[in-house]
Structure 1
């Protein structure tokens, strides 16, 4: 309808310095009210940063905004998404976790016009955002800074030096590009063995929750191992998958014996307790250590993943902001998403989250928060991949998202590793996985 469409021409009148684009809202007679469902951040005070950005925009645009911060505890946010999509009623904008733009594509307003402006303003997005946030030539949602994260290694400087002979600060120097050519999967395996022998094993889970799956996905991709290819063909019984499983079985022998039972809290606790030399996680464990175990926090360093035969891949989990197709104020909703994605808004969100939140835009990976974080100074410099030396990925890609989502949520890769680790023959493990994945493709 003409009254609710925001044309590309009107968007392009907005400059990078004035991306809140006030003329659209009033010019399209779109003032009035707007309702937003944000994710309830785990970092104290982080919600306030978002609220202040939205209030400033609302005051300028003369829009009455209602904000709800909805917890992910008990999957309340996911239940709300499902209920609103079914009822075709609720918030105008909703924060959508990683796979949800694809799951609810038919219920979302296209945001190509918003993304055109933001890419021009902030640089391109990484491939994982395109994979999850777009279908063909249609953008389903805008990548959200809040909640997005990379789950790369967080190492103990002292323990890696003492037991593995690796200086992670020299390998990933604060303020400079990585010197990490020797940081390969083989080096990672040798370091895991050395730290295990020293009584401080790597804290990598083999469970069925996100952290375990994300690490497995990145290592599989480092071998070029995909269970389903981009065209939807099942490729479980391929040489790269066999190589990935053989490697993972070796690695798993150096992990904590209860790793198959780990959940997403286990690796955090492992690091904070001082019992391990490395985990794969965003800065949440380091942030908790700053409060509860300062001696551990002072020895932490976040850095890149090891490289495999097919490259260096880091697990990236983006959040998105989507506009429901049933929204009654789409021009205002699009204008707010522009305001939430300016350099200053993103910098504020990153700062208040203590560096945890991560923008997907190429030009926004060198904000001061990451360079200045301490202790130790520079601990987070390499967290946002500022030198773009690794590919940000998600487990089960490049399979069609509907299939990849099932592989991811069913933890097929970590289940394969555990079955093989516990003595099942490799061919039997591959046959089991093939049957599982074939079911996903049919579904």
Structure 2
């Protein structure tokens, strides 16, 4: 994907915008034996979660005698993306930046490779999941260190009472706290029947069909469950396949049972849908449940987070990781790598996960059974299956396994949800496929 260069005016505007939003936490010492270091964390939405990363960095800085400055950069209004673009253009800024999903590949030419520290990190924590490898590596080289902070699975969060009453599904029995899933019958056929039953009862599933991340993520997991790809790993067009056709047919049935304004939903819509008590299920990390704990406790105590339904080619779940990447123009790469090793220690990762109330997810296979997911409530155990402790489903991201710079454009142009809506609204199947093929050809040329 070609990256748009910022004009001087755009760069100044972006820098000014983000600078006003940064929360700076400098740690000052009398002597700086190892120099200075600056880090841009994602500004966590969970109150108090930033404190854990501050404490971890401060402890490391005191020990290593480094002067560290932390900026917490929010993702609202894409302020973190604007800051990344500004620093890449200026070749100046933070030493370490928290890169969401696709941005390691978008900025790969300007990132320091971190294979030297990823080897020991993986040896201690276990292998990183496949989606993290897909997004975090280029030609087998690591572009960043997987960050637990901000990483999330967007699986089903169901209302225990409404699913039991209207769909005759006991989600706690299907995904019992402390035990492996008993979800062999949790298939797309079961899912459709449940969606229809809840729709008839006036509590539809809250699944968006818009152009923002939540809608695209769900579509990506459904397409992958049919084995559907628009572009394969080698960069070949694979739009006009039976798997893609099957995905569109499934979505045509599902859309009939979703809220009538689902095509206009953004990433806050499904959260509001759950908290308001209007729906029996949404696809989301525990953010909506956490808000319900505060604003609608009677809803929160009926929420259960669990696995995705299985399609013909398996069970897939949307997973969006963050990475801590080091710019190749960093002036203190040695200290940056040392800090990232410290933040990747099991105790450090657990501290940050606990501070987020279980929202944050480590990428490593040995760190999916932390106590926080067993103990979070109400109800107790509601997040037990959130980190996929039994490898019950494949973690994925929409538009993969296409080459990341192509997949990124499919993702942000919401090609999948647009296809589903076009076909649902009456466009002929082959016309929808031809449109999508033309879009992908354009992405591959750019």
> TM-score per shorter chain, which class?
over 0.9
Q: CA deviation at 1:299?
A: 0.4
CA contact (8 A) 2:41 2:98 kept: yes
Q: How many Å separate the matches in 1 of 2:33 and 2:226?
A: 50
Q: How many Å separate the matches in 2 of 1:325 and 1:267?
A: 39
Q: CA deviation at 1:71?
A: 1.3
Q: Which deviations, in whole Å up to 9, do the C-alpha atoms of 1:92-129 show, x marking residues without a partner?
A: 00000110000000100000011101110000011000
User: Where does structure 1 differ by over 3 angstroms across 4 or more consecutive aligned residues?
Assistant: none
1:128-277 counterparts in 2 under 5 A?
128-277=131-280
Helix, strand or coil: the match of 2:430? helix
1:415 matched to 2:385? The reply is no
Helix, strand or coil: the match of 1:178? coil
Match in the other structure for 1:95:
98
CA contact (8 A) 2:33 2:65 kept: no
Aligned with residue 356 of structure 2, among 353, 356, 361: 353
Helix, strand or coil: the match of 1:95? strand
Q: Which runs of 5+ in 1 are unaligned?
A: 1-28
Change (3 A) 1:123 1:286: same
1:35 matched to 2:38? The reply is yes
Helix, strand or coil: the match of 2:157? strand
Change (3 A) 1:186 1:62: same
Match in the other structure for 1:316:
319
Q: How many Å separate the matches in 1 of 2:161 and 2:47?
A: 30
Aligned with residue 367 of structure 1, among 362, 365, 370: 370
Helix, strand or coil: the match of 2:357? coil
Aligned with residue 327 of structure 1, among 325, 330, 334: 330
1:47-62 counterparts in 2 under 5 A?
47-62=50-65
CA contact (8 A) 2:136 2:144 kept: yes
Q: How many Å separate the matches in 2 of 1:199 and 1:234?
A: 41
Q: CA deviation at 1:30?
A: 7.4
Q: How many Å separate the matches in 1 of 2:73 and 2:175?
A: 37
Q: How many Å separate the matches in 2 of 1:359 and 1:154?
A: 20
Q: CA deviation at 1:331?
A: 0.9
Helix, strand or coil: the match of 1:208? coil
Q: CA deviation at 1:41?
A: 0.8
Q: How many Å separate the matches in 2 of 1:137 and 1:229?
A: 18
1:372-383 counterparts in 2 under 5 A?
372-383=375-386
Aligned with residue 114 of structure 2, among 98, 111, 135: 111
CA contact (8 A) 1:30 1:332 kept: no
CA contact (8 A) 2:129 2:395 kept: yes
CA contact (8 A) 1:220 1:244 kept: yes
CA contact (8 A) 1:30 1:331 kept: no
Aligned with residue 74 of structure 2, among 50, 71, 76: 71
Match in the other structure for 2:300:
297
1:400 matched to 2:403? The reply is yes
Q: How many Å separate the matches in 2 of 1:75 and 1:252?
A: 29
CA RMSD of aligned residues (A): 0.9
Q: How many Å separate the matches in 2 of 1:158 and 1:89?
A: 53
Match in the other structure for 2:23:
none
Q: How many Å separate the matches in 1 of 2:162 and 2:320?
A: 28
Match in the other structure for 1:13:
none
Q: Which deviations, in whole Å up to 9, do the C-alpha atoms of 1:63-82 show, x marking residues without a partner?
A: 11011111112222111111
Q: How many Å separate the matches in 1 of 2:212 and 2:221?
A: 15
